[in-house]
Structure 1
């Protein structure tokens, strides 16, 4: 009898502990989601910002530093998948010479973007707990590289200007580059906000 009372007591304690843990996890998730929404109001594309970062709410929690690192990692991931897509297009046969030249230019631009975003991710990681001028130096590097990456993305889309290049290839490249440009622009806005507060 005493054994069954003891087991009941243990089970009750475990149940209460697990309920408290799941309640605190739920509360933490809600806090992280609200933090992401509030942070994304500083961006040009807030709905996209919330959508692309909400998947990582538990790792972001309510950390501004984790938020910018995640935003930049999302941007890098999108740029890398776009680079793979454009690389496949460079292998297409039967593409008009002007289209082929525009695709090749786009590949070079997205390759530069990937490189700059990768450097930015490393820079944020190496920033550690830097303060003052050292902190601003790291942030300035990241801002410069991301801005250059945004210019690369726009240059690709500009290369498809004119009706002669209208078609499925232009539309698919443009859609991907616009998406990369938007998540990158959002990342830059979050980094600018982070840099101005610290």
Structure 2
């Protein structure tokens, strides 16, 4: 599998629409492949916006698309965590009532980062090693970890303070976590597409 470049901008990438090629311009083969792949996700526009930064990496296989999507999800999680750490620190210093639910949410994001990191490494092994009879075991590992990361993100959303408490900060937090959950959902769908090329039926939903 061709090695995908990882621009530093991805660390703070918000998946803005400016990454998408103009409608009148003819997309490159990689861009066209990404767009076709993203149509099978729950959030196709977000998928295309986030993965268009990889259009110059000669993406031409389901595995490459899945690898790129998982990488985007990981950097989304890292970006979200960096913001949440600051919020949690401020709340702790103020001895605010909302510190504990935010801290619990942060723990979920940490878990998700670990799981996405393992998923990326595992999927990369499938392209670099002769896994033989262990192929389906590796596939199952990735699916389990990405599914768990998605569950962690949705659990985090549920744990954030309800109602009007910390309304401004809560809105920003929820927006970041929701964006992470959506990109992870897309990554899971694209991984299922890759697994399906080997006759592996998905056991979890994106």
TM-score class, shorter-chain normalisation, is 0.7 to 0.9
Could you tell me which runs of 5 or more consecutive residues in structure 1 were left unpaired when the two chains were aligned.
1-25
Separation in structure 2 between the aligned mates of residue 147 and residue 75 of structure 1, nearest angstrom: 12
TM-score normalized by structure 1?
A: 0.80
Work out whether residues 41 and 190 of structure 2, in 8 Å CA contact, stay in contact via their aligned partners in 1.
yes
Separation in structure 2 between the aligned mates of residue 84 and residue 102 of structure 1, nearest angstrom: 17
**SS in structure 2 of the partner of residue 165 of structure 1:** coil
Q: CA deviation at 1:32?
A: 0.9
Structure-1 residue corresponding to 2:119:
120
Matches within 5 A, 1:1-198: 30-92=28-90, 93-94=93-94, 96-97=96-97, 99-127=98-126, 128=128, 130=130, 133-160=133-160, 162-163=162-163, 165=165, 167-198=167-198
**SS in structure 1 of the partner of residue 42 of structure 2:** coil
Q: CA deviation at 1:158?
A: 0.6
TM-score normalized by structure 2?
A: 0.77
Work out whether residues 116 and 146 of structure 2, in 8 Å CA contact, stay in contact via their aligned partners in 1.
yes
Q: Based on CA coordinates, which of the two structures has the bigger radius of gyration? A: 1
Work out whether residues 75 and 187 of structure 1, in 8 Å CA contact, stay in contact via their aligned partners in 2.
yes
Return structure 1 stretches of 4+ with deviation > 2 angstroms: 93-96, 128-135
Could you tell me which runs of 5 or more consecutive residues in structure 2 were left unpaired when the two chains were aligned.
1-24, 199-206
**SS in structure 2 of the partner of residue 61 of structure 1:** coil
Separation in structure 1 between the aligned mates of residue 176 and residue 31 of structure 2, nearest angstrom: 26
Superposed CA RMSD: 2.0
* Higher-helix-fraction structure: 1
**SS in structure 2 of the partner of residue 163 of structure 1:** coil
